[in-house]
A and B are shown apart, each in its own frame.
Chain A
Amino acid sequence: MANSRTRNKFSAERYGSLIALGILVLVSAVLSPHFLQPQNILNILRQISYTGIIALGMTFVIIAGGIDLSVGSLAAFAGAIGVLTMNALGAAGKPEWVGVLAAVLVALAAGSLGGVLNGLMVTKGRIAPFIVTLGTMAIFRSLSLYLGDAGEFTSTNTLYSQIGSASIAFVPVPVWIMAAFAAFFSLLLGRTRYGRYVRAVGSNQRVALYSAINVDKVRLLTYVVIGLTVGVTAVLISMRFNAVGTSTLGVNYELDAIAAVIIGGTAMAGGSGTIWGTVVGAIILGVINNMLNMVGVSPYLQGTVKGLVIIGAVLIQRRKA
């Protein structure tokens, strides 16, 4: 008897977010017959993919005991200089594909370098991650606003936006990219030495240090990982809009990304968590948004629901501990 009880408890803990998603899908399907239509499902997946990709990187940062608030601002900054580079190459008469390639590389590099900057201040500077990324959140946003004079950079490259709205086998490109990153990061976190070290550092930094783990390097790399995902999202979202709004792009991304990670069961204090949990967390957020839209709840109230879900998820985590 006792044995089966522990097993049930175990699975409820582990698959709590998956069960919640199942219930949500059921409720949504009942509330709206439109919900389960393939086009709607694909829409939800595309909507969540932008912040979902960043949430994948955020999973590493949070498991290692950190946090990154700068992701939205960094996305605007990386997207802005990517599009600027592309437009400059276009003006110089280069072929469109060269411009697209350059935009992608520049945005990825900018995102990763932003991550390096955050990571260095956290590890070498010994400043709390919350403070570091609060600071860089302001810095990257202000740099983007300055570059664009608070306006928009519109892409002059037609290929760029074509890629952004393309689908492969009916599934939108950003969804494919998120799936690929999820698979790769899941392997990285669950099966590799680096993944083990990330959990070790977040679990007990002192033991990790005494175990000859290069704690600073492991933590620094988590910020590079998230910076890379920010670069990817910057490219995908600017492709989607064919522009970078320096004052609007990436606003509240940190909220969505952190929410997905926490709803997915990653411990806020670090040490444990999974990539698939974060994916489920991101989908839960998307389904909630979609459902609220369909039943006609004011979009202004959607933030309230999101906030309640985050707090509720942490509350459930507490209960388990």
Chain B
Amino acid sequence: MPEAVVRTEKIRKDFSAVTVLKDISIELQAGETLGLIGENGAGKSTLMKILSGIYQPTAGALFIDGKSTSFRNPSDAKAAGVSIVPQEFNLCPDLSVSENVYLGDEIKGPGGLLDRAAMRDRTRELLSELSAAIDPDARIVELSAAQKQLVEICKALVHEARVLILDEPTTVLTKIEIDSLFRVMRDLRSRGIALVYISHKLWEIAEICDRVAVLRDGELVHVAPVATLSLEEMARRMVGRELSDVFPKLAEPSAEAPVLFEVEGLSSPNAFENISFSIRAGEILGLAGLMGAGRTEVAEAVMGVRRATGRIAVAGKELRSHRPMDAVAAGIGYLSEDRQGSGVMVPFTIAENATLVSLPRYSRGLLGIVDRKGEAASAERWKGLFSIKATSTDQCLEELSGGNQQKVSLAKSLDPEPKVLIVDEPTRGVDVGAKRDIYRLIADLAAKGIAIIFISSELEEVIGMCRRVLVMREGRAAGFLEGAAVNEEEIMYLATGIREGV
């Protein structure tokens, strides 16, 4: 067997007193794709941050081409040929593609001035190797998420990367974009580059990876060729228990239940036009469509963070003005798709986040003194109800895993006791175990009579959670699907415009 490009020996990482990685020994061969799976907080990101020089291990050794190495920072790792394409892109939006690709490593011509032509030409070459139709002079702001990702890959390749780590690269991509990413990955593999692929989507692992490594609670519990594991077995090894049905049983919708939420003729310039729907108490209405179809924009308009015209009514009472506080006062709650950008306050504690929207309820007297005991009691209740993994409700969110942050975000939307709840990509970047928890929580809320709008780009969960779905296409309502018609084919027909709905 040839020498591994990267090998780790008993890598351990402690954060203060907590051990997040225990004795990880793993190796990566040239030209292989290793899938790395595990629940949120299992230690995937920490391990990859060690490999790419962002963190230093507490103990253990790292070998590159058999030679013991230690990375003091990401530049050391890049020099050794290990690069990472992070989940959140690290690009300067106002610089051009080639400027970003060469950022920090510019080619200089005579006199120390930048050789812009050389950088542009080399970027063009790299892009064409990836069969990407991107202009090297385009500014990053003009690019789509998929294109930005290709620029990130270019950035890694320009350093003669031999190991490329992709951290959940498909969360922001559509099906077609995922396919072309996989083509790029296969191409890189054939050029002898070793890839590490982190994802929650197990079918992607099965499709693109040669081997799969499973992390659970900081331990490497299983490494095997992908072909020897079924999807169910991967999931089982990840959570360490059998997974029963992922989706909860949904209550039969009642035709007598009162209409709780109505939207009529809602339009927002450059986003969507003439959207109308209504939801009964206890119903979950799916909102499906491709990226850019305007689903999130509808939610934002309902919440009053986006300008819109049209009629919005909760329990028959029309909303007079479109401000977030009016929407909340009327009983609408929103779980944002962009957790850290608009969902939770990362430096705040669990308790402070959970009560951020409902704070008026916890404040007393003329000055609005916060009733900290009441606040802590509520936070404690949510922590128990959602099994949020944290030492206490005084812990800051920056110390929590993505799945637990998402649960706090949900607690924050629910603490004001909304009558209508909009959940936008509620399980994005969340592991299988937490997903199941979140599905069950949403079904429970519906059973209690809350009207729910369920926005998701994962068809599987729209189908699993909703009996009625509004499919959007290019800012318009393409049609409603109900009952047995809620299936993958019908949704895609409407979403892509192959068929017009009623």
Contact = CB atoms under 8 A, between A and B. Distances in A.
A212 B341 contact: no
B348 A209 contact: no
Contact of A196 (B323, B352, B412): B352
A5 B367 CA distance: 39
Contacts of B445: none
Nearest to A191: B369
Contact of A203 (B328, B347, B362, B370): B347
A206 B324 contact: no
Interface residues of chain B: helix, strand, loop or mixed (majority) = mixed
A5 B352 CA distance: 27
B341 A206 contact: yes
Contacts of A203: 345, 347-348
Nearest to B325: A212
A158 interface: no
A82 interface: no
A162 interface: no
A301 interface: no
A39 B224 CA distance: 78
B368 interface: yes
Given A209-B324, A211-B357, 16 more contacts: A2-B16, A2-B17, A191-B372, A193-B362, A193-B363, A196-B356, A197-B359, A203-B348, A204-B345, A206-B341, A207-B341, A207-B343, A208-B345, A211-B356, A212-B325, A213-B324
A3 B17 contact: yes
Contacts of B367: 187-188, 192, 194
Contacts of B327: 212
A155 B441 CA distance: 69
Which 5 pairs from chain A and chain B are nearest by CB? Answer: A193-B368, A212-B328, A193-B363, A212-B324, A210-B342
A187 B365 CA distance: 13
B14 interface: yes
A193 B370 contact: yes
Contact of B14 (A2, A187, A191, A193): A2
Given A3-B17, A206-B342, A192 B368 contact: yes
B325 A214 contact: yes
A278 interface: no
Contacts, number: 77
B162 to A, nearest CB: 33
A214 B323 CA distance: 9
Interface in A202-233: 203-204, 206-214
Interface string B296-331: 000000010100000000000000000111011000
B341 to A, nearest CB: 6
Contact of A191 (B359, B360, B370): B370
Contacts of B305: 209-210
A6 interface: yes
A178 interface: no
B344 interface: yes
A26 B359 CA distance: 44
11 contacts: A2-B17, A6-B16, A6-B17, A192-B363, A193-B368, A194-B368, A203-B345, A206-B342, A210-B343, A211-B357, A212-B357
A96 to B, nearest CB: 33
A272 B347 contact: yes
Contacts of B33: none
Contact of A207 (B345, B362, B372): B345
Interface in A154-197: 187-188, 191-194, 196-197
A137 to B, nearest CB: 30
Nearest to A217: B325
Contacts of B173: none
Contacts of A191: 369-370, 372
Contacts of A207: 341-345, 356
A260 interface: no
A200 interface: yes
B427 interface: no
B324 A3 contact: no
B334 interface: yes
A203 B347 CA distance: 8
A134 to B, nearest CB: 25
B346 interface: yes
B334 A196 contact: no
B8 interface: no
A193 B359 contact: yes
A187 B367 CA distance: 9
B368 A200 contact: no
A4 to B, nearest CB: 10
A213 B357 CA distance: 7
B393 to A, nearest CB: 15
B336 interface: yes
